[in-house]
Structure 1
Amino acid sequence: MRFRKAQTIAFILLLAVGQAFAQDDSAEKTGDATATPSPTPELTGTQLEGTRVAEASVLVYSQFTGRVRMNQIRKTTVEYGTIELTDAEGKKTKATYEKRMLRGDSLDKTKIRIDQSFPDARYSLVYDGEKIFGVFGTTVFDPRADAKASFSHSIWHGLDALLRYYENGSKINFEKDEKIMGVDYRIITSLDKQGRKTTFYISKKSYRVMMLEYEEAGVKYRRKFYDYNYAQNTLVPYRTVLWANGKRVEEKRTSTVTFGQEVGEEYFDFS
Protein backbone atom coordinates (compact mmCIF):
# COMPACT_ATOMS: atom_id res chain seq x y z
CA MET A 1 0.00 0.00 0.00
CA ARG A 2 2.77 2.43 0.91
CA PHE A 3 4.60 1.57 -2.31
CA ARG A 4 1.44 2.28 -4.31
CA LYS A 5 0.99 5.66 -2.60
CA ALA A 6 4.64 6.50 -3.27
CA GLN A 7 4.14 5.62 -6.93
CA THR A 8 1.09 7.90 -7.13
CA ILE A 9 2.92 10.84 -5.57
CA ALA A 10 5.91 10.31 -7.84
CA PHE A 11 3.57 10.26 -10.85
CA ILE A 12 1.90 13.50 -9.76
CA LEU A 13 5.26 15.24 -9.35
CA LEU A 14 6.49 13.96 -12.69
CA LEU A 15 3.41 15.35 -14.41
CA ALA A 16 3.80 18.59 -12.49
CA VAL A 17 7.32 19.10 -13.81
CA GLY A 18 6.07 18.78 -17.37
CA GLN A 19 3.15 21.09 -16.61
CA ALA A 20 5.41 23.74 -15.10
CA PHE A 21 7.71 23.90 -18.10
CA ALA A 22 5.15 23.62 -20.88
CA GLN A 23 2.80 26.47 -19.97
CA ASP A 24 3.40 28.81 -22.86
CA ASP A 25 3.52 26.00 -25.39
CA SER A 26 0.19 24.65 -24.11
CA ALA A 27 -1.43 28.07 -24.35
CA GLU A 28 -0.28 28.51 -27.94
CA LYS A 29 -1.54 25.09 -29.02
CA THR A 30 -4.96 25.43 -27.41
CA GLY A 31 -5.47 29.09 -28.14
CA ASP A 32 -6.83 29.41 -24.61
CA ALA A 33 -7.05 33.06 -23.59
CA THR A 34 -6.87 32.27 -19.90
CA ALA A 35 -3.30 31.01 -19.99
CA THR A 36 -1.30 33.69 -21.76
CA PRO A 37 0.70 35.70 -19.20
CA SER A 38 4.10 37.09 -19.99
CA PRO A 39 6.91 34.51 -20.10
CA THR A 40 8.47 34.00 -16.69
CA PRO A 41 12.21 33.83 -16.05
CA GLU A 42 13.83 30.45 -15.52
CA LEU A 43 13.03 29.11 -12.08
CA THR A 44 15.64 27.82 -9.68
CA GLY A 45 15.85 26.57 -6.10
CA THR A 46 12.83 27.25 -3.89
CA GLN A 47 10.83 28.86 -6.70
CA LEU A 48 11.25 25.77 -8.86
CA GLU A 49 10.23 23.43 -6.04
CA GLY A 50 7.30 25.68 -5.11
CA THR A 51 6.10 25.67 -8.70
CA ARG A 52 6.33 21.88 -8.85
CA VAL A 53 4.17 21.61 -5.72
CA ALA A 54 1.66 24.15 -7.08
CA GLU A 55 1.40 22.34 -10.41
CA ALA A 56 0.89 19.03 -8.63
CA SER A 57 -2.07 20.59 -6.80
CA VAL A 58 -3.49 21.98 -10.04
CA LEU A 59 -3.39 18.47 -11.49
CA VAL A 60 -5.14 17.01 -8.45
CA TYR A 61 -7.88 19.67 -8.41
CA SER A 62 -8.46 19.19 -12.15
CA GLN A 63 -8.56 15.38 -11.76
CA PHE A 64 -5.40 15.18 -13.88
CA THR A 65 -6.88 17.02 -16.87
CA GLY A 66 -4.76 20.14 -16.32
CA ARG A 67 -5.21 23.88 -16.04
CA VAL A 68 -6.69 24.54 -19.48
CA ARG A 69 -9.42 21.95 -19.07
CA MET A 70 -10.27 23.14 -15.54
CA ASN A 71 -10.57 26.70 -16.83
CA GLN A 72 -12.99 25.48 -19.49
CA ILE A 73 -15.12 23.58 -16.97
CA ARG A 74 -15.13 26.46 -14.48
CA LYS A 75 -15.86 29.19 -17.01
CA THR A 76 -18.84 30.03 -14.81
CA THR A 77 -19.77 29.03 -11.26
CA VAL A 78 -23.14 28.93 -9.50
CA GLU A 79 -22.96 28.00 -5.82
CA TYR A 80 -25.50 27.78 -2.98
CA GLY A 81 -24.93 27.26 0.71
CA THR A 82 -25.02 28.61 4.25
CA ILE A 83 -22.66 30.81 6.19
CA GLU A 84 -22.30 31.38 9.94
CA LEU A 85 -20.56 34.52 11.19
CA THR A 86 -19.29 35.06 14.74
CA ASP A 87 -18.67 38.62 15.95
CA ALA A 88 -16.16 39.85 18.54
CA GLU A 89 -18.66 39.24 21.38
CA GLY A 90 -19.27 35.66 20.28
CA LYS A 91 -22.72 36.31 18.81
CA LYS A 92 -23.47 34.07 15.83
CA THR A 93 -25.47 35.05 12.77
CA LYS A 94 -26.55 32.61 10.08
CA ALA A 95 -27.35 33.36 6.46
CA THR A 96 -27.92 31.60 3.18
CA TYR A 97 -25.92 32.64 0.15
CA GLU A 98 -25.92 32.40 -3.63
CA LYS A 99 -22.63 32.94 -5.42
CA ARG A 100 -22.04 33.49 -9.12
CA MET A 101 -18.73 33.83 -10.90
CA LEU A 102 -17.83 34.69 -14.48
CA ARG A 103 -14.24 33.60 -15.05
CA GLY A 104 -11.83 36.12 -16.58
CA ASP A 105 -8.38 35.78 -18.13
CA SER A 106 -6.96 36.17 -14.61
CA LEU A 107 -8.38 36.41 -11.11
CA ASP A 108 -8.48 40.22 -11.15
CA LYS A 109 -10.64 40.08 -14.30
CA THR A 110 -13.03 37.52 -12.85
CA LYS A 111 -16.48 38.84 -11.90
CA ILE A 112 -17.98 37.65 -8.61
CA ARG A 113 -21.31 38.25 -6.93
CA ILE A 114 -22.55 36.84 -3.64
CA ASP A 115 -26.17 37.35 -2.52
CA GLN A 116 -26.59 36.91 1.24
CA SER A 117 -29.92 36.49 3.04
CA PHE A 118 -29.77 37.24 6.78
CA PRO A 119 -32.77 37.05 9.15
CA ASP A 120 -33.29 40.82 8.88
CA ALA A 121 -31.80 41.76 5.51
CA ARG A 122 -30.79 40.59 2.05
CA TYR A 123 -28.02 42.27 0.09
CA SER A 124 -25.30 41.51 -2.45
CA LEU A 125 -21.57 42.10 -2.65
CA VAL A 126 -20.16 42.41 -6.15
CA TYR A 127 -16.70 42.50 -7.68
CA ASP A 128 -17.12 43.56 -11.31
CA GLY A 129 -13.52 43.02 -12.39
CA GLU A 130 -12.46 46.47 -11.20
CA LYS A 131 -14.08 47.37 -7.88
CA ILE A 132 -16.15 46.04 -4.98
CA PHE A 133 -19.58 47.48 -4.17
CA GLY A 134 -22.81 46.47 -2.46
CA VAL A 135 -26.36 46.21 -3.80
CA PHE A 136 -29.53 46.47 -1.69
CA GLY A 137 -32.57 45.98 -3.87
CA THR A 138 -31.70 48.23 -6.80
CA THR A 139 -29.54 50.62 -4.77
CA VAL A 140 -25.77 50.50 -5.09
CA PHE A 141 -23.85 51.36 -1.92
CA ASP A 142 -20.34 51.32 -0.49
CA PRO A 143 -20.16 48.37 1.96
CA ARG A 144 -18.85 48.68 5.49
CA ALA A 145 -15.08 48.38 5.68
CA ASP A 146 -15.19 45.00 7.43
CA ALA A 147 -17.65 43.51 4.92
CA LYS A 148 -15.63 44.80 1.99
CA ALA A 149 -12.39 43.48 3.50
CA SER A 150 -13.89 40.04 4.14
CA PHE A 151 -15.17 39.80 0.57
CA SER A 152 -11.84 41.02 -0.80
CA HIS A 153 -9.91 38.47 1.28
CA SER A 154 -12.09 35.64 -0.02
CA ILE A 155 -11.08 36.60 -3.56
CA TRP A 156 -7.36 37.34 -3.23
CA HIS A 157 -6.54 34.89 -0.46
CA GLY A 158 -8.64 31.93 -1.58
CA LEU A 159 -7.83 28.69 -3.38
CA ASP A 160 -7.66 30.48 -6.73
CA ALA A 161 -4.61 32.39 -5.51
CA LEU A 162 -2.91 29.01 -5.91
CA LEU A 163 -4.89 27.27 -8.65
CA ARG A 164 -4.68 30.35 -10.90
CA TYR A 165 -1.22 31.55 -9.88
CA TYR A 166 0.04 31.19 -13.45
CA GLU A 167 -2.65 33.36 -15.04
CA ASN A 168 -2.28 35.85 -12.17
CA GLY A 169 1.47 36.18 -12.72
CA SER A 170 2.11 35.30 -9.06
CA LYS A 171 5.44 34.11 -7.70
CA ILE A 172 5.42 30.75 -5.94
CA ASN A 173 8.03 29.88 -3.34
CA PHE A 174 8.63 26.64 -1.45
CA GLU A 175 9.02 27.30 2.27
CA LYS A 176 9.46 23.93 3.95
CA ASP A 177 8.10 20.46 4.67
CA GLU A 178 6.55 20.23 8.12
CA LYS A 179 4.55 17.72 10.14
CA ILE A 180 1.67 19.28 12.10
CA MET A 181 -0.49 17.10 14.36
CA GLY A 182 0.62 14.00 12.49
CA VAL A 183 -0.02 15.39 8.99
CA ASP A 184 2.86 15.97 6.58
CA TYR A 185 2.59 19.27 4.74
CA ARG A 186 4.40 20.90 1.86
CA ILE A 187 4.23 24.62 2.62
CA ILE A 188 4.41 27.13 -0.22
CA THR A 189 3.66 30.83 -0.59
CA SER A 190 2.02 32.77 -3.39
CA LEU A 191 2.87 36.44 -3.92
CA ASP A 192 0.72 38.24 -6.48
CA LYS A 193 1.55 41.37 -8.46
CA GLN A 194 -0.09 43.58 -5.83
CA GLY A 195 2.12 42.12 -3.09
CA ARG A 196 -0.61 40.01 -1.48
CA LYS A 197 0.94 36.95 0.13
CA THR A 198 -0.86 33.70 0.93
CA THR A 199 0.69 30.65 2.58
CA PHE A 200 -0.69 27.25 1.57
CA TYR A 201 -0.41 24.06 3.62
CA ILE A 202 -0.62 21.25 1.09
CA SER A 203 -0.98 17.63 2.12
CA LYS A 204 2.09 15.66 1.11
CA LYS A 205 -0.17 12.63 0.76
CA SER A 206 -2.96 14.02 -1.42
CA TYR A 207 -1.66 17.41 -2.66
CA ARG A 208 -4.90 19.01 -1.54
CA VAL A 209 -4.81 22.36 0.25
CA MET A 210 -5.79 21.64 3.84
CA MET A 211 -5.38 25.19 5.13
CA LEU A 212 -4.05 28.60 4.16
CA GLU A 213 -2.84 31.64 6.08
CA TYR A 214 -2.50 35.34 5.35
CA GLU A 215 -2.17 38.62 7.21
CA GLU A 216 -4.03 41.85 6.51
CA ALA A 217 -4.09 45.06 8.60
CA GLY A 218 -2.22 43.36 11.42
CA VAL A 219 -4.72 40.49 11.70
CA LYS A 220 -3.54 36.92 11.12
CA TYR A 221 -6.07 34.73 9.33
CA ARG A 222 -6.24 30.98 8.89
CA ARG A 223 -8.75 29.15 6.71
CA LYS A 224 -9.18 25.37 6.82
CA PHE A 225 -10.78 23.23 4.13
CA TYR A 226 -12.93 20.16 4.76
CA ASP A 227 -15.29 17.71 3.03
CA TYR A 228 -13.58 17.61 -0.34
CA ASN A 229 -15.52 16.08 -3.21
CA TYR A 230 -15.52 16.25 -6.99
CA ALA A 231 -17.98 18.47 -8.85
CA GLN A 232 -17.92 18.00 -12.61
CA ASN A 233 -14.47 16.42 -12.39
CA THR A 234 -12.91 19.25 -10.40
CA LEU A 235 -12.15 19.11 -6.68
CA VAL A 236 -14.19 21.31 -4.33
CA PRO A 237 -14.11 21.73 -0.51
CA TYR A 238 -17.72 21.78 0.67
CA ARG A 239 -16.92 23.22 4.10
CA THR A 240 -14.45 25.92 5.17
CA VAL A 241 -13.73 27.56 8.52
CA LEU A 242 -11.96 30.90 9.01
CA TRP A 243 -10.09 32.11 12.10
CA ALA A 244 -8.87 35.66 12.78
CA ASN A 245 -6.11 36.00 15.40
CA GLY A 246 -7.04 32.56 16.67
CA LYS A 247 -10.79 33.25 16.99
CA ARG A 248 -13.31 31.48 14.82
CA VAL A 249 -15.19 34.08 12.76
CA GLU A 250 -16.77 32.24 9.83
CA GLU A 251 -17.96 28.81 8.75
CA LYS A 252 -19.23 28.23 5.23
CA ARG A 253 -21.03 25.12 4.02
CA THR A 254 -21.67 24.61 0.32
CA SER A 255 -24.80 22.64 -0.53
CA THR A 256 -24.49 22.65 -4.33
CA VAL A 257 -22.00 23.98 -6.86
CA THR A 258 -22.41 23.85 -10.63
CA PHE A 259 -20.00 24.89 -13.36
CA GLY A 260 -20.80 25.92 -16.92
CA GLN A 261 -24.30 27.31 -16.39
CA GLU A 262 -25.12 30.56 -18.14
CA VAL A 263 -24.11 33.55 -16.00
CA GLY A 264 -24.74 36.81 -17.83
CA GLU A 265 -23.01 40.16 -17.47
CA GLU A 266 -26.24 41.60 -16.07
CA TYR A 267 -25.52 39.94 -12.72
CA PHE A 268 -22.54 42.27 -12.24
CA ASP A 269 -23.52 45.43 -14.14
CA PHE A 270 -25.28 48.09 -12.03
CA SER A 271 -24.10 51.18 -13.90
Structure 2
Amino acid sequence: MIRHLAARLLRRAPPPCPAAPLVAIGDIHGCLGDLEALLARIGDWLEAGPQLVLLGDLVDRGPDSRGVIDRAMRLCTEHPGPAEVLMGNHERMMLDFLDGHDPQGRWLAAGGAATLESFGIAPPPREASADPARIAAEARAAIGAERLDWLAARPLWLISGDVVAVHAAWSVRRPDHRQDPALLLWGDPAFYRHLRRDPPWIVHGHVITRPARARGTRIAVDSGAFRGGGLSAVRLLPGAAPEFRNSLG
Protein backbone atom coordinates (compact mmCIF):
# COMPACT_ATOMS: atom_id res chain seq x y z
CA MET A 1 0.00 0.00 0.00
CA ILE A 2 2.72 2.48 1.02
CA ARG A 3 4.83 1.55 -1.99
CA HIS A 4 1.85 2.05 -4.27
CA LEU A 5 1.17 5.53 -2.85
CA ALA A 6 4.84 6.48 -3.08
CA ALA A 7 4.99 5.35 -6.70
CA ARG A 8 1.95 7.48 -7.54
CA LEU A 9 3.51 10.54 -5.90
CA LEU A 10 6.87 10.12 -7.64
CA ARG A 11 5.70 9.28 -11.15
CA ARG A 12 5.70 11.95 -13.78
CA ALA A 13 2.58 13.19 -15.50
CA PRO A 14 2.15 11.93 -19.06
CA PRO A 15 2.67 14.66 -21.68
CA PRO A 16 -0.42 16.54 -22.85
CA CYS A 17 -2.15 15.26 -25.97
CA PRO A 18 -4.36 17.97 -27.45
CA ALA A 19 -6.26 16.98 -30.58
CA ALA A 20 -4.01 19.40 -32.48
CA PRO A 21 -1.25 21.88 -31.53
CA LEU A 22 -2.65 24.45 -29.10
CA VAL A 23 -1.40 27.86 -27.94
CA ALA A 24 -2.99 29.51 -24.89
CA ILE A 25 -2.49 33.11 -23.76
CA GLY A 26 -3.05 34.24 -20.17
CA ASP A 27 -4.87 37.22 -18.64
CA ILE A 28 -4.24 40.40 -20.65
CA HIS A 29 -6.10 42.94 -18.47
CA GLY A 30 -5.98 45.85 -20.88
CA CYS A 31 -2.24 45.55 -21.61
CA LEU A 32 -2.33 45.90 -25.39
CA GLY A 33 1.41 46.55 -25.64
CA ASP A 34 2.17 43.25 -23.91
CA LEU A 35 -0.27 41.44 -26.19
CA GLU A 36 1.36 42.80 -29.33
CA ALA A 37 4.83 42.00 -27.97
CA LEU A 38 3.80 38.45 -27.12
CA LEU A 39 2.18 37.87 -30.51
CA ALA A 40 5.46 38.93 -32.11
CA ARG A 41 7.45 36.57 -29.86
CA ILE A 42 5.22 33.58 -30.67
CA GLY A 43 4.85 34.39 -34.35
CA ASP A 44 6.66 31.18 -35.29
CA TRP A 45 4.22 29.20 -33.13
CA LEU A 46 1.23 30.79 -34.85
CA GLU A 47 2.38 30.47 -38.47
CA ALA A 48 1.18 26.88 -38.79
CA GLY A 49 -2.31 27.78 -37.53
CA PRO A 50 -2.54 25.97 -34.17
CA GLN A 51 -5.65 26.19 -32.04
CA LEU A 52 -5.29 29.61 -30.38
CA VAL A 53 -7.16 30.32 -27.17
CA LEU A 54 -7.17 33.44 -24.99
CA LEU A 55 -8.04 32.46 -21.43
CA GLY A 56 -10.22 35.46 -20.55
CA ASP A 57 -9.81 38.67 -18.55
CA LEU A 58 -9.14 40.84 -21.56
CA VAL A 59 -10.42 43.88 -19.69
CA ASP A 60 -9.88 45.99 -16.54
CA ARG A 61 -6.86 47.28 -14.62
CA GLY A 62 -4.55 47.94 -17.59
CA PRO A 63 -4.63 51.06 -19.80
CA ASP A 64 -6.27 49.86 -23.03
CA SER A 65 -9.12 47.41 -22.59
CA ARG A 66 -10.79 48.81 -25.69
CA GLY A 67 -7.72 48.09 -27.79
CA VAL A 68 -7.41 44.58 -26.35
CA ILE A 69 -11.05 43.73 -27.10
CA ASP A 70 -10.69 44.95 -30.67
CA ARG A 71 -7.41 43.07 -31.15
CA ALA A 72 -8.92 39.87 -29.77
CA MET A 73 -11.89 40.19 -32.10
CA ARG A 74 -9.54 40.57 -35.06
CA LEU A 75 -7.47 37.58 -33.95
CA CYS A 76 -10.56 35.40 -34.17
CA THR A 77 -10.84 36.19 -37.88
CA GLU A 78 -7.20 36.79 -38.89
CA HIS A 79 -5.47 33.85 -37.18
CA PRO A 80 -4.63 31.20 -39.80
CA GLY A 81 -6.11 28.44 -37.63
CA PRO A 82 -9.02 28.12 -35.21
CA ALA A 83 -9.13 30.81 -32.52
CA GLU A 84 -11.28 31.22 -29.43
CA VAL A 85 -11.53 33.74 -26.60
CA LEU A 86 -12.93 32.48 -23.30
CA MET A 87 -15.02 34.32 -20.74
CA GLY A 88 -13.13 35.53 -17.69
CA ASN A 89 -14.54 36.73 -14.39
CA HIS A 90 -13.78 40.34 -15.35
CA GLU A 91 -15.82 40.08 -18.55
CA ARG A 92 -18.63 38.56 -16.48
CA MET A 93 -18.46 41.40 -13.93
CA MET A 94 -18.41 43.98 -16.71
CA LEU A 95 -21.46 42.53 -18.43
CA ASP A 96 -23.33 42.21 -15.13
CA PHE A 97 -22.66 45.87 -14.35
CA LEU A 98 -23.78 46.99 -17.79
CA ASP A 99 -26.94 44.88 -17.48
CA GLY A 100 -27.86 46.45 -14.13
CA HIS A 101 -26.97 43.43 -11.97
CA ASP A 102 -24.25 45.25 -10.00
CA PRO A 103 -26.02 48.18 -8.30
CA GLN A 104 -23.14 48.68 -5.85
CA GLY A 105 -20.66 49.18 -8.68
CA ARG A 106 -18.25 46.46 -7.52
CA TRP A 107 -16.95 46.08 -11.07
CA LEU A 108 -15.75 49.70 -11.06
CA ALA A 109 -13.63 49.06 -7.96
CA ALA A 110 -12.25 45.82 -9.45
CA GLY A 111 -10.62 47.59 -12.39
CA GLY A 112 -13.68 48.55 -14.39
CA ALA A 113 -12.94 52.26 -14.08
CA ALA A 114 -9.82 51.74 -16.22
CA THR A 115 -11.95 50.02 -18.86
CA LEU A 116 -14.36 52.97 -18.93
CA GLU A 117 -11.43 55.36 -19.37
CA SER A 118 -10.24 53.38 -22.39
CA PHE A 119 -13.63 54.11 -23.97
CA GLY A 120 -13.38 57.83 -23.20
CA ILE A 121 -15.59 57.79 -20.11
CA ALA A 122 -14.29 59.77 -17.13
CA PRO A 123 -13.72 57.74 -13.96
CA PRO A 124 -16.88 57.89 -11.85
CA PRO A 125 -16.73 59.46 -8.37
CA ARG A 126 -16.33 57.09 -5.47
CA GLU A 127 -18.94 58.85 -3.38
CA ALA A 128 -22.33 57.28 -2.78
CA SER A 129 -23.78 59.90 -5.14
CA ALA A 130 -22.34 58.03 -8.14
CA ASP A 131 -25.16 56.68 -10.30
CA PRO A 132 -24.32 53.16 -11.56
CA ALA A 133 -27.35 53.06 -13.86
CA ARG A 134 -26.33 56.28 -15.61
CA ILE A 135 -22.71 55.14 -15.88
CA ALA A 136 -23.83 51.78 -17.30
CA ALA A 137 -26.00 53.45 -19.94
CA GLU A 138 -23.15 55.74 -20.98
CA ALA A 139 -20.75 52.78 -21.09
CA ARG A 140 -23.08 50.63 -23.20
CA ALA A 141 -23.35 53.41 -25.75
CA ALA A 142 -19.57 53.94 -25.86
CA ILE A 143 -18.66 50.25 -26.05
CA GLY A 144 -21.25 49.49 -28.71
CA ALA A 145 -23.54 46.56 -29.39
CA GLU A 146 -21.07 44.66 -31.58
CA ARG A 147 -18.43 44.43 -28.85
CA LEU A 148 -20.97 43.68 -26.12
CA ASP A 149 -22.66 40.92 -28.12
CA TRP A 150 -19.27 39.39 -28.86
CA LEU A 151 -18.20 39.49 -25.20
CA ALA A 152 -21.50 37.99 -24.04
CA ALA A 153 -21.06 35.07 -26.45
CA ARG A 154 -17.68 33.99 -25.05
CA PRO A 155 -17.63 30.32 -23.98
CA LEU A 156 -16.47 29.19 -20.55
CA TRP A 157 -14.11 26.46 -21.72
CA LEU A 158 -12.48 24.73 -24.67
CA ILE A 159 -11.56 21.04 -24.81
CA SER A 160 -8.98 19.60 -27.19
CA GLY A 161 -7.97 15.98 -26.69
CA ASP A 162 -6.98 15.60 -23.04
CA VAL A 163 -6.51 19.36 -22.57
CA VAL A 164 -9.09 21.68 -20.98
CA ALA A 165 -8.62 25.43 -21.42
CA VAL A 166 -10.58 27.51 -18.89
CA HIS A 167 -10.22 30.86 -17.18
CA ALA A 168 -9.85 29.90 -13.52
CA ALA A 169 -10.48 26.25 -12.57
CA TRP A 170 -12.11 22.96 -13.53
CA SER A 171 -13.65 20.03 -11.68
CA VAL A 172 -12.31 16.68 -12.88
CA ARG A 173 -15.15 14.99 -10.98
CA ARG A 174 -17.87 16.49 -13.16
CA PRO A 175 -18.62 16.09 -16.87
CA ASP A 176 -18.33 19.27 -18.88
CA HIS A 177 -22.10 19.84 -19.05
CA ARG A 178 -22.30 19.82 -15.22
CA GLN A 179 -19.44 22.22 -14.50
CA ASP A 180 -20.17 25.08 -12.09
CA PRO A 181 -19.74 28.43 -13.91
CA ALA A 182 -18.68 30.10 -10.65
CA LEU A 183 -15.79 27.65 -10.29
CA LEU A 184 -14.73 28.09 -13.91
CA LEU A 185 -14.70 31.89 -13.60
CA TRP A 186 -13.56 32.45 -10.00
CA GLY A 187 -11.55 29.35 -9.10
CA ASP A 188 -11.14 27.58 -5.77
CA PRO A 189 -8.09 27.41 -3.46
CA ALA A 190 -8.38 23.61 -3.34
CA PHE A 191 -7.95 23.44 -7.11
CA TYR A 192 -4.62 25.27 -6.92
CA ARG A 193 -3.34 23.28 -3.92
CA HIS A 194 -4.11 19.80 -5.24
CA LEU A 195 -1.32 18.18 -7.24
CA ARG A 196 -2.65 15.91 -9.98
CA ARG A 197 -0.56 13.83 -12.36
CA ASP A 198 -3.39 12.34 -14.39
CA PRO A 199 -5.21 13.77 -17.42
CA PRO A 200 -6.95 15.95 -18.24
CA TRP A 201 -4.38 18.69 -18.46
CA ILE A 202 -5.97 21.96 -17.34
CA VAL A 203 -4.53 25.22 -18.66
CA HIS A 204 -5.83 28.32 -16.90
CA GLY A 205 -5.20 31.93 -15.93
CA HIS A 206 -6.81 33.97 -13.12
CA VAL A 207 -4.14 33.40 -10.45
CA ILE A 208 -0.85 35.23 -10.97
CA THR A 209 1.97 32.71 -11.28
CA ARG A 210 5.52 33.85 -12.10
CA PRO A 211 6.89 32.42 -14.19
CA ALA A 212 4.05 30.66 -15.97
CA ARG A 213 4.55 26.94 -15.44
CA ALA A 214 3.12 23.45 -15.22
CA ARG A 215 2.55 21.71 -11.90
CA GLY A 216 1.47 18.14 -12.40
CA THR A 217 -1.21 18.31 -15.08
CA ARG A 218 -2.21 21.90 -14.24
CA ILE A 219 -0.72 24.76 -16.29
CA ALA A 220 -0.91 28.33 -14.93
CA VAL A 221 -0.40 31.05 -17.55
CA ASP A 222 -1.34 34.34 -15.81
CA SER A 223 1.98 36.09 -15.17
CA GLY A 224 0.41 39.39 -14.06
CA ALA A 225 0.78 41.60 -17.13
CA PHE A 226 -0.89 44.58 -15.43
CA ARG A 227 1.64 44.34 -12.58
CA GLY A 228 4.66 44.36 -14.86
CA GLY A 229 5.10 40.60 -15.11
CA GLY A 230 4.57 40.47 -18.85
CA LEU A 231 2.05 38.38 -20.74
CA SER A 232 2.64 34.65 -21.06
CA ALA A 233 1.69 31.94 -23.53
CA VAL A 234 2.05 28.17 -23.51
CA ARG A 235 2.33 25.89 -26.51
CA LEU A 236 1.06 22.32 -26.24
CA LEU A 237 2.07 19.84 -28.91
CA PRO A 238 0.71 16.28 -28.78
CA GLY A 239 3.07 14.14 -26.73
CA ALA A 240 5.52 16.95 -25.90
CA ALA A 241 6.28 18.92 -22.75
CA PRO A 242 4.63 22.37 -22.45
CA GLU A 243 6.67 25.31 -23.81
CA PHE A 244 6.37 28.83 -22.39
CA ARG A 245 7.14 32.31 -23.66
CA ASN A 246 6.64 35.77 -22.17
CA SER A 247 6.23 39.19 -23.78
CA LEU A 248 9.23 40.46 -21.79
CA GLY A 249 11.59 37.93 -23.36
TM-score range, shorter chain: under 0.3
Q: Which has the higher contact order (CA 8 A, sep 6+)?
A: 2
- TM-score in terms of structure 2 length: 0.25
